[in-house]
Amino acid sequence: MSSHRRQYHIEVSNRHSVSKWHWQWQWQWQQCYLVPPSTTMPSNMPEELEMEGIDHALERLNQRRWWIWSVFILASSPGLFNAYHIMVSLFFASIPPYWCRIPQLVDTHWTNDQIRNISSPTGLTGSSCSMISWNYTYLATMDYKSALQFVASHPKPSESPCTQFMYDEEVPYSSTVSQWDLVCDNLPKKSNIQSSIAIGKFVGGFLFGFIADKYGRKSSFVLASLTYIIMGPLAAFSPSYWLFIVARFFLGIAGSGCYESAYTILTEVASKDRRAVLGCVYNMSYPIGYMTLSLIALVFPTWRSLQMAISLPMLLLCIHCWFLPESPRWLLTQGRQIEAWAVIKNVDKSVVPPLSEDITNVQREEGPFVPLHKRIFDGFRKLFGLFSTAELCRRICICYLTWFIAALSYYVLALNADNFSSNRY
């Protein structure tokens, strides 16, 4: 948006006035802020008073239920996609019955059961990683009944490992296992499908935690959403196994970014009396995602169509990026008071920011340069500061323990569905 200068006269709460300031419109993250030209004037107002004013304004905003619940929906709904991509491997990484593919017999147009009965050491029961070393070129010259009589009248030869596989599937290549033969010697590669997204979530927790603190909660959310939107379809159309694994890794990173950034925004704009409730209800999107994923998997039987079905709705994250506000508390900690109050005034026009002649800066002066190793050391020092008292240690350990138990319950039951006799849907 083109900027143009205008002069405003602002009446403040202490009846003093600020005049002859030239202000300009600035378009930032799809929100129109009224900000002054770039200044780095230091603020003389104590930070506690600034935060107290923001707290009071947010308390007023929380009285507008439609606003706080709209922020809640925008912040929590991306958890659906998080659940989809974590648990979808249960459906598109399942192992169907398999046996060795015999090209000579496939060309004879025998049925799969006939080929399996002749070549597999286990017959029609169970899967097999080896085949009986008959002379299949000779057997291909016979019909099935003659070939069956031949193998019954001759001693069984030795077994040899499979070089190609066939699968008992209603739709060919309906799973990633049949797509890339992730069985027998390649079976460990199947676990990478889930491990990649888990490692991505671990990396994303650190990466987007830094981005959210350095560049803003909304900036972190927008970047994670763009990663989601790009990597979802890329995983669906991956021509190779390793490209698919890389896409899953970035989906895990994006999942952590969306979850942590949106959760932080919600808790920082919620009032004290709503914060605990909203923080607990926030995680309802996970079980809702688990339940709806089963319905989606019933409609889309192949892994590529299923991946696209859970990826296309992520385009709705563009709406979240547009309407989800930046955290006024974070803006205030960065010395961007004008933008912090602009977020609030976008909702409540009656709010009067407690501005004075000393509170006109949008960016605090940067301190002296700090070497990288000192910044890293300072970061670890702050991290271990969480365990500085016995009370903090108890609370943190309780939080970690309850999170561990809840996550373990979800993953053990869901990811081991193939080991149960019940229907995986």
pLDDT digits over 388-399, tens only? Answer: 888 888 888 898
CATH 1.20.1250.20 fits 61-92+170-353, yes or no: yes
- Separation between Cα atoms, residue 183 and residue 129, nearest integer Å: 8
In one-letter notation, the amino acid at residue 260 is: E
What integer pLDDT is reported at residue 422 of this predicted model? 67
Band of the pLDDT at 299, cuts 50, 70, 90? very high
What integer pLDDT is reported at residue 224 of this predicted model? 95
Band of the pLDDT at 407, cuts 50, 70, 90? confident
Contacts 24+ apart (CB under 8 A), 16-19: 16/356, 16/357, 18/355, 18/356, 18/357, 18/360
Q: What angle do CA 349, 78, 1 make, to 5 degrees?
A: 45
What integer pLDDT is reported at residue 16 of this predicted model? 36
Residue 26 has pLDDT above 80, yes or no: no
Stated pTM of the model: 0.79
Band of the pLDDT at 258, cuts 50, 70, 90? very high
Residue 373 has pLDDT above 60, yes or no: yes
Residue 269's Cβ-side half-sphere holds a number of Cα atoms within 13 Å equal to 32
Please give the structure tokens belonging to residue 54. Answer: 């923001």
DSSP state of 32: E
Residue 184's Cβ-side half-sphere holds a number of Cα atoms within 13 Å equal to 18
Q: Judging by beta carbons within 10 Å of its beta carbon (0-12, 13-18, 19+), is residue 44 exposed, middle or buried?
A: exposed
Q: Pick the range with the lowest mean pLDDT from 43-47, 210-214, 350-354.
A: 43-47
Instruction: Note whether 347 and 67 are within 8 A (CB).
Output: yes
Average pLDDT, the chain: 80
Residue 303 has pLDDT above 90, yes or no: yes
- Where do the H-state alpha helices sit in 216-316? 217-236, 241-269, 272-281, 285-299, 303-311
- Separation between Cα atoms, residue 385 and residue 210, nearest integer Å: 17
Among candidate residues 136, 145, 150, the one with its CA nearest the CA of residue 105:
136
| Tens-digit pLDDT profile for residues 162-183 | 888 989 888 888 889 999 999 9
Among candidate residues 199, 198, 161, 157, the one with its CA nearest the CA of residue 183:
161
Band of the pLDDT at 28, cuts 50, 70, 90? very low
Instruction: Note whether 231 and 223 are within 8 A (CB).
Output: no
Residue 229 has pLDDT above 50, yes or no: yes
The mean pLDDT of 359-375, rounded to a whole number, is 58
